[in-house]
Amino acid sequence: LGYIKYILKSSVRNVPIFGWGFHILEFILVERKWELDKPVIESMLSTFMDPQDPLWLVLFPEGTDFTEQKCRRSQQFAKEHGLPVLSNVLLPRTKGFTSCLALLRGSMDA
């Protein structure tokens, strides 16, 4: 369990007992606002570079409620960036994931 690090929504820190465990096990808790999450992710991942033991990094991409307004915003973003326009789901947000890959590149066997 100590070799697995999770990236989770910060709201889970409020779950009794588990929130404390997440802190002790060095899980990365994010707010889902890149301006706030970037320094947290960079700081935590820097401690995992060149690990002595194997490391698994698990990213849980918790979504948000699907609404017509969010769907329209997602579709507009897709059109503006030449991405597929989806009608039943929102486009995934990839900034945090790609940042993790870039930060850990060269320090892991993956």
What digits encode the pLDDT tens for the residues 84-109? 999 999 988 888 889 988 988 877 66
The torsion angles phi and psi of 11, rounded to 5 degrees, stand at -65, -20
Domain borders along the chain are 4-62+94-104
User: Going by C-beta distance under 8 Å and a sequence separation of 6 or more, which residues neighbour residue 66?
Assistant: 89, 90
- What's the half-sphere exposure (Cβ side, CA atoms, 13 Å) at 55? 20
The torsion angles phi and psi of 6, rounded to 5 degrees, stand at -110, 145
pTM to 2 decimals?
0.75
* Residue ranges of E strands in the chain: 4-9, 28-30, 56-59
Query: Percent of the chain beyond pLDDT 70?
Result: 92
